[in-house]
Structure 1
Amino acid sequence: MNFLRIDSVHHTYFSPKTATHALRDITLQVDEGEFVSFIGPSGCGKTTLLSIVAGLIKPTEGTVTLRNKPIRTMKKKLGYMLQQDYLFPWKTIEENILLGLTIMGTLTEEKRSEAHSLLNEMGLEGVGSSYPRELSGGMRQRVALIRTLITEPHLLLLDEPFSALDYQTKLKLEDLVFSTLKSFGKTAILVTHDIGEAISMSDRIILFGTKPGHIHSIFEVPSQLKEMMPFEVRNHAAYPEFFQSIWKELEKLESRTH
């Protein structure tokens, strides 16, 4: 059974004077526990598709199902992690983490205890009573990940969550997010502009073309890289050649748009 199924999705943005075709005939399946990345030139519809999968936008045509149920009925089973952490500055770290559970009326002492365990696991011991302004960017993104995981989502949607961080912090967080999602057996879709990030974290990479957005190529990450931590992947002998193969395809697409 397909875990996530995107079937013949088209999307057009309408304004009073124009119709902009953002996506054309997107059909894709994602298996449970799989990590898939979306890459492509600017304007190829990566984020539009992620928003459709999140149930935030209804596609003009086509369907998206999660475990054979329409995605719009499964919103509580989705976790969203963005470039900005969107922590509320007036709430403590613990309050921010538990906010979703509080809103849904599912906060228990067991969940509170789990939140503290996750903080400890991610090197954030003792910061539960701190406020976001007291934490670095990397620490705040770790808090955002815990807030996402604590609601036990079936599917995680990651929209460039590391792009605002310095390079060293980004590499460390890639490893942390990768190992955490693997240990929880989570399914994830990552939107990124960084080919290296896509290779180091993914099982498959979907390269989108533009005008309108469509699936141009699908790259299966070499099996020897899939089981390695992202930092190790970037240093593996198979990495440069695979990077170049994706880079060349992306270059072809970029040249067509200019």
Structure 2
Amino acid sequence: MDFLTLRGIHHTYFTKTSAVTALNDISLDVQEGEFVSFLGPSGCGKTTLLSIIAGLIEPTDGQIALEGKSVKDAAEKTGYMLQQDYLFPWKTIEENIFLGLKISGTLNESRKKDVLNLLGQMGLGNVESLYPKQLSGGMRQRVALVRTLATEPKLLMLDEPFSALDYQTKLKLEDLVASTFKAFEKTAILVTHDIGEAIAMSDRIFLFSPRPGRLHKTFTIPEELRTLRPFEARNHPLYNELFQLIWKELESLEPEEY
């Protein structure tokens, strides 16, 4: 049984005066432990699809299941990481990372110790008593990652989590996130506009066509790249070949944009 299955997902946004179809007939599968990316032009429905998978939006039509259950029934198994860290500025870093556990009623001394250890593994072992405004953007995103992992989700959804960071910090966080997810054997879906990021971090890339979003093509990343850290993958000859291939596919979808 596939870990995550989508069949015939269709979604239309309705207003009083119009109807806009964001997604049309999306069917795909994601295996447990796999890291996949949703790539495509702006407005192709990537974030809408992520919200449907998260159970935040009910699709107009189609079926979606996580480990054989509806995504709403499996909501506690999912975690979300966004472009903004959404840390509460009036709470300390420790209070922020324990928040999900506290809400779910699963906060205990054992879990506290585990989460603080994870914070240390992220290079943030001495920031528990600080507030978000005292940290850099990259440090806050690492805290957001710890907060997301603290509840032990089985599926992590990343909506352009590095796009607001400077390039050097972005590359470092790509490596950190990829190695962390691999170590914890997490399944992840990344929404990105960055071809290079998708290639460096993913096992597979789902390329979507312009609105209404359709699954245009699936790229499987070669094993030679998947075994490397994202930074190392970017320097491999196969990386450039795949980059050019995907770039040309995007050009064919929106030739006027390039």
Q: Quick one: percent identity of the two aligned structures? A: 66
Q: Deviations over 1:179-205 (max 9, x none)?
A: 000000000000000000000000000
**Structure 2 equivalent of residue 43 of structure 1:** 43
Does the 8 Å CA contact 1:4/1:67 hold for their aligned counterparts?
yes
Following superposition, the deviation at residue 211 of structure 1 comes to 2.8
Following superposition, the deviation at residue 119 of structure 1 comes to 1.1
Does the 8 Å CA contact 2:45/2:211 hold for their aligned counterparts?
no
- The one-letter code of the counterpart of 1:248 is K
CA distance in 1, matches of 2:10, 2:120: 43
Q: SS at the partner of 1:28?
A: strand
Spell out the pairing of 1:162-173 with structure 2 (5 A cutoff): 162-173=162-173
- Given the alignment of the two structures, is residue 71 of structure 1 paired with residue 71 of structure 2, yes or no? yes
**Structure 2 equivalent of residue 156 of structure 1:** 156
- Given the alignment of the two structures, is residue 226 of structure 1 paired with residue 221 of structure 2, yes or no? no
**Any stretches of 5+ residues in structure 2 without a counterpart?**
none
Q: SS at the partner of 1:100?
A: helix
CA distance in 2, matches of 1:109, 1:97: 14
**Structure 1 equivalent of residue 96 of structure 2:** 96
**Any stretches of 5+ residues in structure 1 without a counterpart?**
none
**Structure 1 equivalent of residue 235 of structure 2:** 235
Change (3 A) 1:257 1:17: farther
- TM-score if structure 2 supplies the norm length? 0.98
Does the 8 Å CA contact 1:94/1:115 hold for their aligned counterparts?
no
Q: What do you get for the CA RMSD once the two structures are aligned?
A: 1.0
CA distance in 2, matches of 1:248, 1:166: 27
Spell out the pairing of 1:51-62 with structure 2 (5 A cutoff): 51-62=51-62
**Structure 2 equivalent of residue 122 of structure 1:** 122
CA distance in 2, matches of 1:12, 1:182: 35
Spell out the pairing of 1:127-146 with structure 2 (5 A cutoff): 127-146=127-146
In the TM superposition, structure 1's runs of 4+ consecutive aligned residues that sit over 4 Å from their partners are none
CA distance in 2, matches of 1:52, 1:257: 28
**Structure 2 equivalent of residue 16 of structure 1:** 16
Q: SS at the partner of 1:29?
A: strand
CA distance in 2, matches of 1:27, 1:254: 22
**Structure 2 equivalent of residue 185 of structure 1:** 185
Aligned residue pair count: 258
CA distance in 1, matches of 2:71, 2:104: 18
- TM-score if structure 1 supplies the norm length? 0.98
